[in-house]
Structure 1
């Protein structure tokens, strides 16, 4: 019975000395990656908001910077363009003095296509830009948690959404 307690003590010691610090370090690395991707996304969006355009060089530099985390990401870009139209009165068959405003969205497929064709995608003052970045590959912390906890842990551990109003004075 004494040898059994020694084996249990050795297993607990291994867990406390090696596995717990390793889990802490991998989770800390995920947090650092989250902050880094968040800062780079904010930097890109703020640059777009100030200049009123997204160039292929800006987008490529952003992709290169976030790929330094050794994690693959899915990036979604949404451009909401504000449109204002006068109201139409069906009874008098004429336009009224009132106006309605709404947003027409352009999504990342069309934006990437414009970047490939023109090298630039332009925004108008008053539009909204939103960029969402979600990791697609499992981080080391996620893999370790799945192995130890034997649980179904979602692989999306790094999720960043940032956006704002285009305030470019040039457009």
Structure 2
């Protein structure tokens, strides 16, 4: 009885070491490659927007298409902070109380405000200038991407660690100041 039990345990260990562990390592390497691809894609998209000063539906579609090449699904968050200078007053109700200084205020625009400009409800051509989202030099632009599916590496990790949940394995966060207005 003990001899057959030790043989079964040895066979189980052999299967684990010969098949499961290499497959898990290959899945982890695939996740690392996906991470690199996503980071490079986000970086090139953000740098293009910062250099041009606008986003077009074609640019955004190409960005999403490059992300989908990894085989994962993603949640993409776009943030545009527009710098605006507002005159400072001693008493906001009295315009004669101008202090001679200006305050910098950042107005935030996110997916909810940007996507209706890129994809309006009407049948405007994709090349129409009204479908461009414009940014101003000095604004801040940032994109954050997180995978929404369970990657093969995450599935293996959860299985090998007996159900311990893993965090999002493929994420990217990149942004900076808009450098140019090329429109």
Could you say what secondary structure the match of 1:69 adopts? coil
Instruction: Kindly report the root-mean-square deviation, in angstroms, between the aligned alpha carbons of the 2 structures.
Output: 1.6
Q: Is the 8 A contact 2:118 2:132 kept in 1?
A: yes
Q: Which runs of 5+ in 1 are unaligned?
A: none
CA drift at 1:170: 4.0
Q: Give the drift of 1:169.
A: 4.7
Deviation at 1:111, TM superposition (A): 0.5
* Unmatched 5+ stretches in structure 2: 121-129
Match status 1:149 vs 2:161 = yes
Structure 1 residue 4: Cα displacement: 2.2
Residue 40 (structure 2) aligns with: 39
28-37 vs 137-146, which moves further:
137-146
After TM superposition, what 4+ stretches of structure 1 lie above 3 angstroms from structure 2?
Answer: none
The number of equivalent residue pairs is 171
Q: Which residue of 1 aligns with 2:89?
A: 88
State the match for 1:136 in structure 2. Answer: 148
Conservation of the 8 A alpha-carbon contact between 1:135 and 1:155: no
Task: Provide the rounded CA distance (Å) in 1 between the counterparts of 2:182 and 2:13.
Answer: 65
Could you report, residue by residue, the CA deviation over 1:9-53 in whole angstroms, capped at 9, with x for unpaired residues?
A: 111111111111111010110111011001000000000010000
Indicate the residue corresponding to 2:124 in structure 1: none
Greater per-residue strand proportion:
1
2: distance between equivalents of 1:51 and 1:158? Answer: 27
